Amino acid sequence: MEEAQGFRALLDLDEPKYSIEQIAAKVGKTPAFIAQRLKLTDLVPAAVEAFYADQIGVGHALLLAKLPSDQQVQALRACFKEVYTASADKPARILLPVRNLQFWIDSNILLILKDAPFNKRDAQLVPAAGSCADCPKRTGHNKLLFGDDLGRQGDRCTDPACYQTKVDAHVAKSIAAKPELVQISTAYGAPKEGSPILPRNKYTAIRDDRPKSQDEAKRPEFKECKYTTEAIITEGSDVGTIHKVCANSTCPVHHPKQSTSREDTKWKAEQEKQRKEQAIGNTTGLRVLAAVSAAVPVRLMKRDMLFILEKLVTLMDERRVEMLAKQHGIRQKRDEGGLPKTFGAFLRRADEGTLSRLMVETTILLAASKTNPATVLRDAATAYKVNTDAIALKVKQEFATKDKAKKLTAKVPVNSSKKVA
């Protein structure tokens, strides 16, 4: 900072008169170095205080000094990260690296002028701001300060407020010149009530680039239709840019509602078919398991079966324990320690026949968790001579009866009872 103030004092001398290049030659530094140091004298008081207190480094200070004074305070806050700890009453501030501040400035303040939707040489667009070409707040105006950045990013604006004012003026001027322009939004969410701006779901943007493949060429955004028109973005990103869109909801190319509806109906029907097949399979499996269980004879002593069952249950996951409990009408009781304890109490009260069936059921469920459940059930059904085909047929008939009852209920009008009366 003292070096910067010394350079400033030399530059402000009336006699002899120094330029930045002359000062650089005298001290053996580059003109860019002198220009950057001189900029430190333009730091706002809050940044100067933080710099002298060693709260920020010289790299942070040089980046802040490049910004207009009204942007420096906001950028100074971006130099730190607040960290909350349980022991401290207030959050601690941690200084972030210089690259973090550079990224924040690039993302929030510096705007690439080549992407601007307005004419950068139009001095009458916003008369108070004048032409961007003559503006001292663009990075290209001071190549000594922003020389490295110009090569990577190009000419950029350091005044977001002025930039936004010009964008708004450009949008208003474009709509006034061409009232037929459709106003569109690239933002997500519903527009305000009564707004003339079309939301994203009310138009299809036509792409200007060529499709890269035949499949891509078939996509709607690469096709034009008789409803294609020009639109201007007035909300969201890329505000002020002109695009081709189709905003006609009856267009068969860009808004094929009927085909979409048919596809949705087909997808829903397929999902319903899979759900029903799964439900039939699950119910059939449980019926086969019950039939196998009913065919198990009483052979082992209760003491032996109880010991085996308690060990087997510990190997089962929670879902299969719940299936086994449901099969025997056991419900979880929180006041008795949850399902494991409730199930354990049930086992100790059960008779030999119930324990025999439970042993076979538990074995089947455990084997099903390691291999194909259908194969395990088929082997068990064969061993205990259970007719799986008959069970499966009965389950399908039951589901068909339920579906038929639902359809009949749906067809009965609400006021049918009044007509009967």
CA dihedral 211, 215, 217, 222 (to 10 degrees): -90
Do the domain assignments include residue 272?
A: no
Of residues 191 and 53, the one with the higher pLDDT is 53
Contacts of 224 (CB under 8 A, 6+ apart): 206, 244
- 12/152 same-domain check: yes
pLDDT-wise least confident of 80-89, 243-252, 279-288, 374-383:
80-89
What residue numbers bound the domain in which 143 lies?
Answer: 2-162
| Residue 137 placed within a domain | yes
pLDDT category at 142 given cuts 50, 70, 90 is confident
Residues 35 and 122 in one domain: yes
Residues contacting residue 84 through CB under 8 Å, at least 6 positions apart: 91, 92
Considering the domain architecture, whether residues 135 and 216 belong to the same structural domain is answered as no
pLDDT at 331 over 50: yes
Does residue 195 contact residue 237 with C-beta atoms inside 8 Å?
A: no
As a whole number of angstroms, the distance between CA 18 and CA 265 comes to: 81
What integer is the mean pLDDT of 237-261? 80
Residue 265 pLDDT > 80: no
Q: Does pLDDT of 415 surpass 70?
A: no
Does residue 152 surpass a pLDDT of 70? no
Q: Which of 230-234, 345-349, 404-408, 413-417 has the highest mean pLDDT?
A: 230-234
Alpha-carbon 68 to chain mean position: 35
Residues 363 and 225 both lie in one domain: no
Residues 6+ apart with CB under 8 A from 176: none
The total of structural domains in the chain comes to 3
Residues 74 and 98 in one domain: yes
DSSP secondary structure, 186-241, as one string = -SSSPPPTT--PBPGGG-EEEP-SPPSSHHHHTSGGG---TT-EEEEEEESSSTT-
N residues, the chain: 421
Q: Does residue 71 form part of some domain?
A: yes
Kindly tell me if the per-residue pLDDT of 166 is higher than 90: yes
pLDDT at 96 over 80: yes
Residue 35 lies in a domain: yes
